[in-house]
Amino acid sequence: MSAKKVAKKTARPAARKKTKPTAAVKAQRAVQAKLPRKEDVPGYTSGIPDEAKWPEVARVLKVRPFYTGPGAVPFSRLRAHMVPDPTRGNQPANDFYLTSD
């Protein structure tokens, strides 16, 4: 083989250029990193189903950071407790509510 062919076979492939994330992508990642999880709510019991969808409940109850409009309440006021769910034969389910702090 010629030296040129040997050089082609042993040459490393060109490194791909990594694109930098846009400002919108960075902002979306930051918001996702800061959102609290339902396991962070005092009184939440993992392993049993929720009575309603977690983010929707937080928006309806106007809990920050899920709701940012006027009248938003801090996340620290959100609580959870177990209630019997009649649609599942009175098995327990997590229910979310606000405290009166």
CB atoms within 10 A of CB 46: 7
Q: Could you tell me the pTM of the whole model?
A: 0.63
Domain positions in the chain are: 49-101
- Per-residue pLDDT of 18-77, as tens digits, reads 788 788 877 777 766 678 889 999 999 999 999 889 899 999 999 988 898 999 999 999
Q: Which two tokens stand for residue 15?
A: 């490194």
How far is residue 12's CA from residue 29's CA, in Å, rounded to a whole number? Answer: 34
pLDDT at 76: 92
Q: Is the peptide bond before 92 cis (omega within 30 degrees of 0)?
A: no
Handedness of CA 5, 7, 10, 12 (dihedral sign): negative
